[in-house]
Structure 1
Amino acid sequence: MNREELRDYRRQNVPLFNAQKLKLGIFAVNCSGGSVITTAPTDRQVTWDYNRSVVRLADALGMEVALPIGRWKGQGGPSNHNGTNFDVYTWAAGMAEATDRIMCFATSHVSLTHPVVAAKQAATIDHISNGRFGLNVVMGWFRDEMAMFGTGLREHDDRYRYGEEWLNIVKRLWTDTAPFDIESAYFNLAALESSPKPVQRPGPVLVNAGTSPAGIDFTARNVDVSFASPSKPDDIDRLRLVTQKADREYGRDVALMCSALVVCRETEAEARAAFQDILDKGDWIAARNMMATLGVESGSFKEGVDERARRFVAGYGTNPLVGTPEQIVDQLADYSRRGVHGVVFYFADYLTELAYFGERVMPLLKQTGLRH
């Protein structure tokens, strides 16, 4: 399938590449705390009923993406942020069965899941969802999680070399019809095969969030969506480099999807007060633990970590979208103008705030032409 054929196929068959100008989704509902590192009161629960209700609501609102965090261990502090969490592959399978249109993703650490297992699980969920599964591949950055599996944390750029071999094996299992062997520095595998193949062709949508030079090159060459976390709107211009690199150097289409905490209320004062409450009750121990790990062991948050501490408590360091429904729409329109393909949202209270978003923000997005 050449580039143009793949574009046409995905426009017709894959929700993330539909005709909506700005794709939307939810992120991190499967973990305690989500992306808000705070002890502020919330309706959020790490229960199946709660998760299913949130994802079904996003599906009913016409959103395209339900993306979980891949997490095995918490960040300490009073909240032990993300310490209670659902497995991502089985989460995606369950959500696929519970929904009709939304894409259900898994976030998979390549060093913790064997590629043969990942390929089979992904193909199975793609059949459960009838072609709505996506895979967010993570190279690994949390050393304490790696220790749980007896797996060391590779040198940064070597993680991407390993990840590329891992992903190539998965892709071949999705497409090759004859058994094949793999002999490399990382894998020695014999007579690999997998059937059935995924519903999607050539396979499920692939996502990566790397923003280091090695991560950018990996994304440009290997996946379909760059998942970015801008700390301010101007960062988007830099983050778009991966889409340009994919086009110019590799002849590929890579979309840019961003994450954002949304705090939306009827008045700006109410929104600011709700945002401030998250900060006032921030779990700074857990936040500093996570920031230290990311700053030392990831290429995603190397610059300005100290300055981003408050935003890290309220949205993992991303640019928060705070204000009235009209102000939220203005900010999303700015993202779209800057070349963002889609945005996945964090909420402090997913059910309450997502319902409000659907009631007050979605109609305005349609009026502006960002949705239809």
Structure 2
Amino acid sequence: MPVNFIGYIGFNNTSEIHAGTRSRALDTQYVRDALDVQEKGGFDRVLIPFGSNSPESQIVAAYGAALTMRLGFLVAHRPGFTQPTLAARQLATLDQLSRGRVAVHIITGGADSEMARDGDVGTTKAERYARSDEYLDILRQEWTARTPFDHDGKFYHIRQAFSSLHPQNLPVFFGGTSPEAIEVAGRHADVYATWGESLDATRDVVTRVRAAAARHGRRIGFSLSLRPVIADTEAVAWKRAAEIEEQVRANREAEGLPITGHRPPNDGSLRLLETAKRNRQDTRLWTGVAALTGAAGNSTGLVGTPEQVAESLLDYYRLGIDNFLIRGFEPLEDARRYGEQLIPLVRERVAALDAQPERQAG
């Protein structure tokens, strides 16, 4: 089973440690630099995020595909704002123009305030997952149908839909840890995406998602998101992690944002916040930033030397994680470091593990 690395194009060279930079303004020079660094660094894909205040992910992916030869793109996409037939054709067009380098990450949306900014007011989380389920049914049909089709559902009514183009290779990523989310993932996802939790918690979610997929006669891959902090020595790496925590704390205090006690709106963040009750788990899983931000998004990391972090990633690989989404707090510099020091090590160790007779027999 190969291992894949997914990087990140966050629109500008900033993160939680940079004061006064919560805007997602588009810095085109950064985008070009990030594409170059991650393509040269051996990343397989880069995630283009979606948000109600962000540049449009599909357009950024199209721009990136025109500037690269090998790098793939994981396009975050939120159902409910584009008709699924149109979205299917947009994504299939991207797939063909990029020569099969596009995947889509379906972001259903857990926060009511985030949804309302794009005009989705009054829907419940359960309704949004039901809508995503129907949306993906139509998306798949538009990608595969050889004759026009009709659809009558709760959210969409379509007559004689048909697309003249079909994707070559367009995997669907899907996340969420609520029962509704896992059921939709089991029905539709090629890859289930989750955040970096402890090994025990990750084993639990892998088991649940595999069971959901098996109920539909499917097998599924897994992606884990982490923020590695690597340095020449373990002590220096943990010192850097502590500095990152303090900078995030200072920035949030300066902006009047809560430090503790805030409750995130989605199950994935709630689950991650439980993990963050302890600053360190499993030797080098670090949850300091997750605790400070209410587990807002990808906010846990692995801390240590490249060799130590590679070994920890191998532990997750043994659980069935075959995609690692890694990004740093200094986006460009950390991506360069991962490409030089971490990704080759992990690939080497995965190849050695997979070559063992018991793995091949399994």
Q: Does the aligned pair in 2 maintain the 1:226–1:256 contact within 8 Å? A: yes
Give the corresponding residue for 1:341. Answer: 322
SS in 1 for 2:123: coil
User: In structure 2, do the counterparts of structure 1 residues 189 and 155 end up closer, same or farther at CA, with 3 Å as the change threshold?
Assistant: same
Q: Say how many residue pairs are matched.
A: 335
SS in 1 for 2:60: helix
Q: Does the aligned pair in 1 maintain the 2:39–2:71 contact within 8 Å? A: yes
Deviation track 1:146-175 (CA, whole Å, cap 9, x = no partner) reads 222322152222211111111111111111
Deviation track 1:78-106 (CA, whole Å, cap 9, x = no partner) reads xxxxxxx3211111111122222222121
Give the corresponding residue for 1:254. Answer: 220
Instruction: Report the Cα distance in structure 2 between the residues aligned to 1:291 and 1:340, rounded to whole angstroms.
Output: 31
Q: Tell me, yes or no, if structure 1 residue 301 matches structure 2 residue 269.
A: yes
Give the corresponding residue for 1:351. Answer: 332
Give the corresponding residue for 2:145. Answer: 176
Instruction: Report the Cα distance in structure 1 between the residues aligned to 2:108 and 2:260, rounded to whole angstroms.
Output: 17
Instruction: Report the Cα distance in structure 2 between the residues aligned to 1:363 and 1:131, rounded to whole angstroms.
Output: 24
User: In structure 2, do the counterparts of structure 1 residues 324 and 238 end up closer, same or farther at CA, with 3 Å as the change threshold?
Assistant: same
Report the Cα offset of residue 190 of structure 1.
2.4
Counterpart among 267, 281, 287 of residue 247 in structure 2: 281
Counterpart among 192, 217, 236 of residue 161 in structure 2: 192
What runs of 5+ residues in structure 1 fail to find an aligned partner?
Answer: 1-18, 74-84
Give the corresponding residue for 1:310. Answer: 288
Instruction: Report the Cα distance in structure 1 between the residues aligned to 2:25 and 2:302, rounded to whole angstroms.
Output: 23
Counterpart among 223, 227, 234 of residue 189 in structure 2: 223
SS in 2 for 1:300: helix
Q: Does the aligned pair in 1 maintain the 2:52–2:115 contact within 8 Å? A: no
Q: Tell me, yes or no, if structure 1 residue 127 matches structure 2 residue 108.
A: no
Q: Please give the TM-score of this superposition, normalised by the length of structure 1.
A: 0.81
Give the corresponding residue for 2:309. Answer: 328
Equivalent residue runs for 1:1-372 within 5 Å: 20=2, 22-27=3-8, 29-30=10-11, 33-34=14-15, 36=16, 39=19, 46-73=26-53, 85-200=54-169, 204-282=170-248, 283-284=251-252, 288=258, 292=262, 295-296=264-265, 298-303=266-271, 305=273, 308=276, 310-312=288-290, 313=292, 316=297, 318-370=299-351
User: In structure 2, do the counterparts of structure 1 residues 61 and 322 end up closer, same or farther at CA, with 3 Å as the change threshold?
Assistant: same
RMSD between aligned alpha carbons?
3.0
Instruction: Report the Cα distance in structure 2 between the residues aligned to 1:286 and 1:306, rounded to whole angstroms.
Output: 24
User: In structure 2, do the counterparts of structure 1 residues 337 and 307 end up closer, same or farther at CA, with 3 Å as the change threshold?
Assistant: closer
SS in 2 for 1:347: coil
Give the corresponding residue for 1:78. Answer: none
Instruction: Report the Cα distance in structure 2 between the residues aligned to 1:336 and 1:215, rounded to whole angstroms.
Output: 23
Q: Does the aligned pair in 2 maintain the 1:264–1:322 contact within 8 Å? A: yes
Report the Cα offset of residue 108 of structure 1.
0.8
Deviation track 1:253-274 (CA, whole Å, cap 9, x = no partner) reads 2101100001111122222222
SS in 2 for 1:305: helix
User: In structure 2, do the counterparts of structure 1 residues 369 and 136 end up closer, same or farther at CA, with 3 Å as the change threshold?
Assistant: closer
Whichever residue aligns with residue 323 of structure 2, its letter is G
SS in 2 for 1:195: coil
What runs of 5+ residues in structure 2 fail to find an aligned partner?
Answer: 277-286, 355-362
Deviation track 1:255-305 (CA, whole Å, cap 9, x = no partner) reads 011000011111222222222222112143687499957x33x22123463
Whichever residue aligns with residue 324 of structure 1, its letter is T
Identify the range of structure 1 (251-260 vs 359-368) with the bigger mean alpha-carbon deviation. Answer: 359-368
Instruction: Report the Cα distance in structure 2 between the residues aligned to 1:133 and 1:216, rounded to whole angstroms.
Output: 23
Instruction: Report the Cα distance in structure 2 between the residues aligned to 1:118 and 1:290, rounded to whole angstroms.
Output: 39
Instruction: Report the Cα distance in structure 1 between the residues aligned to 2:261 and 2:50, rounded to whole angstroms.
Output: 17
